[in-house]
Amino acid sequence: MSKSIPNVDWANQLESVIRQFVKEKLELIMREEMKSFLEIEQAGTSNMRNGYYQRNLDTQYGRIEGLLVPRDRNGEFQTQLFAPYQRHTGWLEEAVIKMYQSGMSTREIGKFIERILGNAYSPTTISHITDVVKEDIEKWHTRPLHKRYSVLYLDGLYVKLRRETVEKEVIYVVLGVNEEGYREILDFFVGGQESAYVWQEILQNLYQRGVKEVLLGVFDGLPGLEEAFKAVYPKADVQRCVVHKVRNTLSRVRKKDQFEMAEDLKLIYRSPNKKLHWRCFNSLNQNGPANIQEKFNLGQMSWMSSLHLWIIQTVFEV
């Protein structure tokens, strides 16, 4: 788990958590890859482990830094996850997320391992690595969750998975911030087009796993999503994600004025306390340029309804 960062950086926060998750799982696969390489592929030789070296890998979610890659004493091991000088992957991270989503069978996991590692290894090695990954997936999905979360962020990320088609699928991501201010991915689900019905199923699953109380839900304006969230957590407050709210507000403003408007909005949602929230809000509402002020007034009720909820989030941010 990682320490929470402000809602204004929601997109960066989500990418950071996903990068860390992918990094941990790639390192797990490589450790088992090395173990099988020495014990199965090179059984009977004197070759052995020789520590790790670090490298960076660019993904759709930004750069993974300090990825630990195993090495052997004879210099004969080369991970099959990526080429020696490859610096970017456009699908490997999605394969990892796909494997760790809910409901994957052993056969499906095995197919993903085969696709990730290619045909460099024997069926015995592929089977061994599959068993280890499957066990880790089961542990991840059955790990204890907190009973109470201060904030649940819901987001659907559209990506192209390397398949027979190039159609985009949505990755449903639930990010939780607990009462100590730490954030963690609670669950993934991949498939189809984003819908409130699927979100409700995901939330019901989390409730059954022990997440009984949520103070605040943050998500975009997907039709029916607020009702779906309230059906599972009726006592929680809800707020549109500030990233989506800012985009919606800026869409009402002339392009040449958008930068100035965005800077003024930052003062509102980056304020550290309630008093400054309202001061910045009223300043823009009353003293902003006439053309911007008029546009802001169109959505000010939406912003006003969110101000007290940002105070809740500020408590858990450092």
Q: Report the alpha-carbon distance of residue 64 to residue 62 in Å, rounded.
A: 7
Rounded to 5 degrees, φ, ψ at 187 are -165, 155
Q: Between 258 and 177, whose confidence is greater?
A: 177
Q: Report the alpha-carbon distance of residue 261 to residue 253 in Å, rounded.
A: 8
Residue 85 has pLDDT above 90, yes or no: no
Sign, Cα dihedral of 114, 120, 122, 125 = negative
Q: How far apart are the first and last CA of the chain?
A: 15
Residue 273 has pLDDT above 90, yes or no: no
Range of the domain at 267: 242-315
Are 138 and 181 within one domain? no
Q: What is the pLDDT of residue 252?
A: 65
Q: What is the pLDDT of residue 62?
A: 85
Are 276 and 307 within one domain? yes
Three-class secondary structure assignment of 200-252: HHHHHHHHHCCCCEEEEEEECCCCCHHHHHHHHCCCCEEEECHHHHHHHHHCC
Are 137 and 170 within one domain? no
For the chain, where are the E strands, in sequence order?
2-3, 49-59, 62-72, 148-160, 168-178, 182-190, 213-219, 237-240
Residue 131 has pLDDT above 60, yes or no: yes
Instruction: Sort residue 307 into left (φ over 0), alpha (ψ -120 to 50) or beta.
Output: alpha
Are 7 and 115 within one domain? yes
Place 210 in a pLDDT band, splitting at 50, 70 and 90: very high
| Out of 6-10, 85-89, 269-273, least confident range | 6-10
| Out of 149-153, 176-180, 235-239, 305-309, least confident range | 305-309
What total of structural domains would you count in the chain? 3
Q: Report the alpha-carbon distance of residue 166 to residue 122 in Å, rounded.
A: 30
Q: What is the pLDDT of residue 268?
A: 67
Q: Report the alpha-carbon distance of residue 49 to residue 32 in Å, rounded.
A: 12
Place 301 in a pLDDT band, splitting at 50, 70 and 90: very low
Q: Between 56 and 309, whose confidence is greater?
A: 56
Q: Report the alpha-carbon distance of residue 136 to residue 159 in Å, rounded.
A: 24
Q: Report the alpha-carbon distance of residue 283 to residue 87 in Å, rounded.
A: 47
Are 91 and 103 within one domain? yes
Q: pLDDT tens digits, residue range 118-129?
A: 888 999 999 999
Q: What is the pLDDT of residue 105?
A: 84
- Residue 182's CATH number: 3.30.420.10
Q: Report the alpha-carbon distance of residue 237 to residue 243 in Å, rounded.
A: 18
Class of residue 9 by CB neighbours under 10 A (exposed 0-12, middle 13-18, buried 19+): middle
Token readout for 122 is: 């024997």
Are 39 and 109 within one domain? yes
- The alpha carbon of 27 is separated from its chain's Cα centroid by a whole number of angstroms, namely 18
Q: Which residues of 28-43 are buried (b: 16+ CB within 10 A; e: fewer)?
A: ebbbbbbbbbbeebbe
Are 132 and 12 within one domain? yes
Is pTM, for the whole model, over 0.75?
Answer: no
**CB of 137 closer than 8 Å to CB of 63:** no
Q: What is the pLDDT of residue 166?
A: 53
Closest C-alpha to 86, from 101, 104, 64: 64
Q: Report the alpha-carbon distance of residue 262 to residue 305 in Å, rounded.
A: 19
Domain end position, chosen among 190, 211, 240: 240
Domain end position, chosen among 199, 224, 240: 240
Are 233 and 267 within one domain? no
Q: pLDDT tens digits, residue range 162-204?
A: 544 556 778 888 999 998 888 889 988 877 778 899 999 999 9
CB proximity list for 102: less than 8 A, separation 6 or greater? 141, 187, 188, 189, 205
Domain end position, chosen among 107, 142, 177: 142
Q: Between 257 and 144, whose confidence is greater?
A: 144
Q: Between 118 and 250, whose confidence is greater?
A: 118
Residues constituting the chain: 318
Q: pLDDT tens digits, residue range 16-68?
A: 888 899 999 999 999 999 999 999 999 989 999 999 999 999 988 888 999 99
Q: What is the pLDDT of residue 248?
A: 61
